[in-house]
Amino acid sequence: MTNATSNPTRPLEPQKRAIVVGASSGIGAALTHELVRQGYTVAALARRESLLQELCQRVNTAVTPAKILPYTHNVTDYDEIPGLFQTVVRDLGGLDLIVYVAGTQPNVALDEYDFAKDRAMMEVNLLGAIAWLNQAAQRFERAGSGHIVGISSIAGDRGRVGAPVYNTSKAGLNTYLEALRNRLTRHGVTVTTVKPGFVDTVLLENAPKTFWVISPEQAAAAIFQAIRRQKQTIYLPARWGLVGLIIRHIPSFIFRRMKF
């Protein structure tokens, strides 16, 4: 694949390179577009090839040379990730940033205990993140620089009645990212945890009630600012941080009676 890291409009400025895992729609697509707008060359990975190609065509036609390099990939194909990571980094000509956006949240009824759905959420939301971000962590630690971003959720702050395993997958991701941060900060690597509330994506189809809904573009702009400022943890929008603080401190005997 052609290396696309040069920028003829700013030839002397170092061109940053990013991987976005889960780039075909929603926050991933919007963030890929935002990173290109900010001068990054982006390796966009996603399972749905048609949507990925549409994104690349839409963005690449507006810039020269092409700034998005597409790769069709299912994050549950864990064995192929080490080799694919090396291929992508080689095609990019290096790596400065990786963002794990891939996620799934099937509809789960209050009286439903479906292991197939539960396993899919754990595999995509957590294990896929670990498989990809471990690769980046090892590279960045050796390099003494780099930035890792994981898109989690406000849902990971407590165990709610409506989505036990989705909550678990995001709570696990939060803890994993915190541990990476504690391990890698001393090596010059930044790790950012992003906790969105309701974003206008396909995942809202299974939300019984929504409020403070933001667009994927709004989320992408806020995430980029967090990357630029090297934030550790952000909520989207920011007022969810206060909600999260309150939720985390509600006593268990009260929280278990709540219906959300």
Q: What distance in Å separates the CA atoms of residue 178 and residue 67, rounded to the nearest whole number? A: 31
Q: Is residue 250 part of a domain?
A: yes
Residue 151: what pLDDT? 98
CATH of the domain at 53: 3.40.50.720
The helix-helix angle for 216-228 and 26-37 (nearest 10°) equals 50
Kind plus residue range of the DSSP H or E element containing 147: strand 147-151
Q: Is residue 260 part of a domain?
A: no
Q: Is residue 57 part of a domain?
A: yes
User: DSSP for 17-78?
Assistant: EEEEES-SSHHHHHHHHHHHHTT-EEEEEES-HHHHHHHHHHHHTTSSS--EEEEE--TT-G
The pLDDT tens digits of the residues spanning 222-255 come to 999 999 999 999 999 888 888 888 888 788 878 7
CB contact at 8 A, 42 and 68: yes
Cβ neighbours of residue 17 under 8 Å, at least 6 residues apart? Answer: 5, 40, 41, 42, 43, 92, 93, 94, 95, 96, 97
Q: Is residue 180 part of a domain?
A: yes
Residue 204: what pLDDT? 67
Mean of per-residue pLDDT scores for the chain: 90
CB contact at 8 A, 37 and 13: no
| pLDDT range class, residue 1, cuts 50, 70, 90 | very low
Q: Is residue 11 part of a domain?
A: no
Domain count, the chain: 1
Q: Is residue 146 part of a domain?
A: yes
- Token digits of residue 200: 């206008």
The pLDDT tens digits of the residues spanning 179-236 come to 999 999 999 999 999 999 889 877 766 666 676 889 999 999 999 999 999 999 999 9
Rg (CA), the chain: 18
How many residues are recorded in the chain?
Answer: 260
**Is the confidence at residue 8, as pLDDT, over 50?**
no
Q: Is residue 9 part of a domain?
A: no
Regarding pTM above 0.85, the answer is yes
Residue 14: what pLDDT? 72
Q: Is residue 30 part of a domain?
A: yes
3-state secondary structure of 175: helix
Cβ neighbours of residue 149 under 8 Å, at least 6 residues apart? Answer: 97, 98, 99, 100, 191, 192, 194, 223, 226, 227
For the segment 170-175, the average pLDDT, to the nearest whole number, is: 98
Residue 2: what pLDDT? 35
Q: Could you list the residue range(s) of the whole structural domain that residue 89 is in?
A: 17-255
